[in-house]
């Protein structure tokens, strides 16, 4: 009977350990994936994104046409991005950042940094 109790205790510890390790791996995978905003068919997607302060955001142009990522306040601006080019920026201050494509001004997006 005593051996059964010990075996059950070891089994429970093993189950808890596996569960904790699984959660840590999942959390690391989520934290390791930086937010990406795609540019496709003359649209930013997602067009609105909320991220915590200190987050690095990547924009990727998937169109054949060049596009920019330009802040309405002048806080940031990319060069012209051709197909598969990226623009990367780390946001260290909270706020709402409206941006657009300087080549196609009807293309607009919003980034909220909290």
Calpha distance 96→98 (Å, rounded): 6
- 109 and 55 in a common domain: yes
Task: Show the tokens assigned to 8.
Answer: 């059950």
Range(s) of the domain holding residue 17: 1-33
List b or e across 7-32, with b for residues whose CB sees 16 or more CB atoms inside 10 angstroms: eeeeeeeeeeeeeeeeeeeeeeeeee
Calpha distance 65→83 (Å, rounded): 7
- 92 and 70 in a common domain: yes
19-70 pLDDT, tens digit each: 544 444 444 545 568 999 999 999 999 999 999 999 999 999 999 999 999 9
Position 60 scores a pLDDT of 99
Task: Show the tokens assigned to 59.
Answer: 């924009």
3-state secondary structure (DSSP) of residue 82: coil
Q: For the chain, how many structural domains are there in total? A: 2
pTM check: above 0.75? no
Question: How would DSSP label each residue in 4-53?
Answer: HHHHHHHHHHHHHHHHHHHHHHHHHHHHHS--EEEEETTEEESSEEEE-T
- 89 and 41 in a common domain: yes
Residue 101 near residue 71, CB atoms below 8 Å: no
- 93 and 67 in a common domain: yes
68-106 pLDDT, tens digit each: 999 999 999 999 999 999 999 999 999 999 999 999 999
- 27 and 40 in a common domain: no
109 pLDDT exceeds 60? yes
- 50 and 77 in a common domain: yes
Position 31 scores a pLDDT of 59
């Amino acid at each position: 009977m005593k051996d059964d109790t010990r075996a059950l205790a070891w089994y429970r510890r093993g189950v808890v350990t596996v569960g904790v390790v699984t959660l840590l791996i999942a959390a690391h995978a989520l934290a390791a994936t930086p937010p990406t905003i795609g540019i496709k068919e003359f649209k930013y997607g997602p067009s609105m994104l909320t991220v915590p302060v200190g987050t690095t955001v990547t924009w990727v142009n998937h169109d054949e046409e060049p596009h920019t990522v330009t802040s309405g306040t002048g806080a940031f601006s990319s060069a012209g991005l051709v197909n598969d080019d990226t623009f990367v920026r780390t946001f260290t201050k909270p706020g709402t950042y409206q941006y657009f494509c300087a080549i196609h001004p009807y293309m607009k997006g919003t980034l909220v940094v909290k």
